[in-house]
Amino acid sequence: MGNAAVTAARAINYEGAGTVEFLLDSDGKFYFMEMNTRLQVEHPVTEMITGQDLVEWQLRVASGQPLPLQQDELEIKGHAFEARVYAEDPDKDFMPATGTLQYLQAPREGPHVRLDTGVLQGDEISVYYDPMIAKLITWDENRNRALGRMTEALSAYHISGVTTNIPFLYNIASSTAFAQAELDTGFIEKHQTALFHTSPEDRMQDLPLASLFLLLRMEKTSAVRARASDPWSPWNTVNAWRLNEPGRHTGQIIVNGKEYDAPVEEIGTEGNRRFRITVDGRSVIAAGELNGNELYADIDGHRRRVTVVAHDGQFTLFSEQGAMQFALKQPDYGSGEDSPDADAFTAPMNGIIVKLLVEPGAEVKKGQAVIIMEAMKMEQTLVAPGDGCVEAFYFQVGDQVKGGEELVNFVQAETGGG
């Protein structure tokens, strides 16, 4: 492939940095795909394992200077990984996200960790540019150690204000299949259950930790409130006290958009306070301590230490098994919307209207495409949630819209009675 790339560059008298891409077949044959007349996004990986500055090389070649080293003078040392940190929602088919980086804490850089980024806390991720926030690169002497550096760095990367793919990247890096290099283009589909943590085993491992974290966090919040008011007030107690009954906590935890019951019963004395947490009909005995973002837990006698990061009313739990996003379900006071498809024609993000596919007043069928908007180099086609009539469009082609704005006045057809 190297010789083929050089031959292609010589054929067009190309001068400058560039990358020729091929597709490699299982039988060892390779096929030309494309040539990019620039450095690739992954060039930091090459820099980390060779110790060379490819951007400097690019500038030298562009100014007519020879390459600093020949091929046989290059040495490869160690292994490196790169993760692209994006503003996107993996749980919504990796749809790009927009928002303001209200809180941004990146992992500490050093000989093993490199971060290439151009954003700061307070910056906006808008619809006008690619939603990549940073390139995170880790290096070590071998693949396993470099991968360990990556999982550690991802768990230390904290962002709020915009949805990111950091938990998903962590799940890839910490998965058994990736550690064993079982890689192909269908990796996500093959390992979807592990990467999105949707199995009953994952729930049994992670939900008790999430429940314990929420309980201990509630206690800390109450303690702060008590110190600021009356420490003896019953309103500042968190032990779910009941007359002649054990203390019980109820509530639902939301994981990947699904609600799970995880009732908790307090047991033990004040000095040996523990919780019986039930998930899917199975109970565990839990105790723990919360120190900042670190949760030190004892689950059925097994000690665990996990990191939990808060962001926009949600939390991400980073453990040796992977990352899980969760939230405590809030009381529903009614939204005034009767139809589950009431948001079918609201803009999923900031963007531009590029096409209206029907005329105002048109009758449409369920699933029929009605309007197309563009955001972050992607087209979003909104379809009718049922049979009905498009009464009017609130925006025209070329108009800018904000995420959450209603785009179409749609009246759903009434279904006939029995």
Residues with catalytic function: 38
Cβ–Cβ under 8 Å, residues 103 and 160: yes
Residues 200 and 168: their CA atoms lie apart, in Å, by: 18
Q: Please tell me the distance from the alpha carbon of residue 124 to that of residue 250, in angstroms, as a whole number.
A: 38
Helices 143-155 and 166-173 cross at an angle (nearest 10°) of 150
**Positive or negative: CA dihedral 99, 307, 322, 210:** negative
CA-to-CA dists, residue 329 to 258, 314, 323, angstroms = 10, 10, 19
Query: ∠ CA(157), CA(160), CA(163), 5° rounding?
Result: 90
- DSSP classification of residue 107: P
198 phi/psi in degrees, rounded to 5? -115, 5
Backbone angles phi, psi at 93, to 5 degrees: 55, 35
